[in-house]
Amino acid sequence: MTPPTIALAGASGDLGSRIARALVRRGATVRALIRPGTSDSEQTHLKALGLTLVPADPLDAAALTATLEGVSCVVSALNGLRGVIVERQGALLDAAVAAGVPRLIPSDFSEDFTQTQPGDNRNLDLRRELMARADHAQIAVTSILNGAFMDMLGAEMPILQPGIRRVLYWHDADQPLDFTTKDDVAAYVAAAALDGTTPRFLKIAGDSLSARALAATMTEVIRILSISLTNQDSSGLPTPRPEPVSLPLASARISIVFANDSIGVRIIRIPFVSCRNRDSADPSTPRPEPVFLLLAPLEFSGVFNTF
């Protein structure tokens, strides 16, 4: 059987390249839509992933439509504001409809924007705006709502504040927050892109935890760290334990590491434990295999306060 062809916009990006790899692993033919001016080195990189590169100019509707002939699903992992999320993806939507592509997965990959009020969050409003257009078009659309990327916890996502020993929250410390790793989202997108029966929304989460639960886990990590540090050897000096200690943090695992005299804490692995479509009782909902991810080290010292 001929493998299905998936068109991918944004393959050069962080999530896009992960989706590309996941699609190739699943046996899809991936047509990467690249912008005019993409560098030779980037093109070489994308080809090495096993992608077929197709120049795509959003201003040339006829050419864009031609690039989508024979495609079974268009996946977008583009990133930006109105010019990308609404306008660039709008051009992609129009071309996909004109080419008779049956399905589109737009670049949503966010919290559930069907539950937020217009005006609350600009980025979610832009997604809702595209959704309003796409839902009136002759194409089936699947939005993947995965919460925050787990990989950003302790990095770009500032809710862990080691310097002031706090976990930050807004409004409600008990509000559950969904987290899913980038690789898990990518694996899920690939499964959904190749499944012609995916519903309008796939709401997934590697796990959910509140700011309070996160603070409690961090406090427990530090408690274990303190016990470890009070181990005495025969000389009476504190002896750093060489082996890592680890605790589960929702779907992440926090590992306490000792190196010479320094002590660090790293989130090291994210077992893919509970990715699920919470709105669907359909057991055929795609469930990619577990994947593991090495996260950027999260170094901190001190005790995280509980609330």
Ligand X SMILES: NC(=O)c1ccc[n+]([C@@H]2O[C@H](COP(=O)([O-])OP(=O)(O)OC[C@H]3O[C@@H](n4cnc5c(N)ncnc54)[C@H](OP(=O)(O)O)[C@@H]3O)[C@@H](O)[C@H]2O)c1
Q: Looking at 21-29, 45-53, 64-72, 81-89, which segment touches ligand X (CB under 6 A)?
A: 81-89
The single residue listed with the structure tokens 């994210």 is 270
Tell me the closest approach of the beta carbon of residue 20 to ligand X, in angstroms.
Answer: 10
Q: Looking at 147-155, 228-236, 245-253, 291-299, which segment touches ligand X (CB under 6 A)?
A: 147-155
- Report the residue from 3, 80, 199, 297 that binds ligand X according to the rule CB under 6 A: 80
- Under the binding rule (CB under 6 A), the answer on residue 285 touching ligand X is no
- Under the binding rule (CB under 6 A), the answer on residue 64 touching ligand X is no
Q: Are 133 and 98 in contact (CB under 8 A)?
A: no
Tell me the closest approach of the beta carbon of residue 78 to ligand X, in angstroms.
Answer: 4
Give the 3-state DSSP-derived string for the chain, with helices as H, strands as E and coil as C. Answer: CCCCEEEEECCCCHHHHHHHHHHHHCCCEEEEEECCCCCHHHHHHHHHCCCEEEECCCCCHHHHHHHCCCCCEEEECCCCCHHHHHHHHHHHHHHHHHCCCCEEECCCCECCCCCCCCCCCHHHHHHHHHHHHHCCCCCEECEEECCEEHHHECCCECCEEHHHCEECCCCCCCCCEEEECHHHHHHHHHHHHCCCCCCCEEECCCEEECHHHHHHHHHHHHHHHHHHHCCECCCCCECCCCCCEEEEECCEEEEEEEECCEEEEEEEECCCCCCCCCCCCCCCCCCCCCCCCCCCCCCCCCCCCCC
Nearer to ligand X, 12 or 246 (CB): 12
What CA–CA distance (Å, rounded) separates 73 from 141? 9
- Under the binding rule (CB under 6 A), the answer on residue 43 touching ligand X is no
- Report the residue from 4, 8, 10, 124 that binds ligand X according to the rule CB under 6 A: 10
Tell me the closest approach of the beta carbon of residue 34 to ligand X, in angstroms.
Answer: 7
- Report the residue from 3, 13, 50, 240 that binds ligand X according to the rule CB under 6 A: 13
Nearer to ligand X, 16 or 288 (CB): 16
Please report, as residue ranges, which positions from 101 to 130 form the binding site for ligand X (by CB under 6 A): 107, 109-110
Q: Which residue is nearest to ligand X (CB)?
A: 13
- Report the residue from 21, 88, 203, 253 that binds ligand X according to the rule CB under 6 A: 88
- Under the binding rule (CB under 6 A), the answer on residue 304 touching ligand X is no
Q: Looking at 82-90, 136-144, 226-234, 296-304, which segment touches ligand X (CB under 6 A)?
A: 82-90
Nearer to ligand X, 29 or 178 (CB): 178
Chain positions contacting ligand X, by CB under 6 A = 10, 12-16, 35, 38, 77-80, 83-84, 88, 107, 109-110, 148-149, 152
